[in-house]
Amino acid sequence: MNALKDAPDARTSLVDSIRQFDRYLTTREVMNLLQLGRNTICGWCASGRLPALRTPNGYRFDPIALAVWLDSRMLNGKVAK
């Protein structure tokens, strides 16, 4: 199958699954969903590149804001770095 043809389905599926959360996500959950490391996630949060709330115990992620951010940055089913 053509990777470019499959990419929108992969993007839609991930974005939709994130939107279904009814609570804020932890850093570990976002790491697993995006298949990125902790240093990348935290670095992007610290620089303002990734929308997150800073808490005393780390970052929390609004699923709607994360889904919007992700939808605008997906490329061929992967997060564009």
Domains annotated on the chain, with CATH:
7-79 (1.10.10)
What average pLDDT does range 4-32 have in this prediction?
79
Tens of pLDDT, residue by residue over 66-81, are: 999 988 876 555 566 6
Task: State residue 49's pLDDT score.
Answer: 93
DSSP label at 77? T
Cβ contacts of 81 within 8 Å, gap of 6 or more: 40
Q: CA 31, CA 4: separation in Å to the nearest integer? A: 24
Tens of pLDDT, residue by residue over 38-71, are: 999 999 999 999 999 999 989 999 999 999 998 8
How much is the pTM? 0.77
Q: CA 62, CA 31: separation in Å to the nearest integer? A: 14
Question: Contact 7/74 with Cβ under 8 angstroms?
Answer: yes
Q: CA 23, CA 63: separation in Å to the nearest integer? A: 7
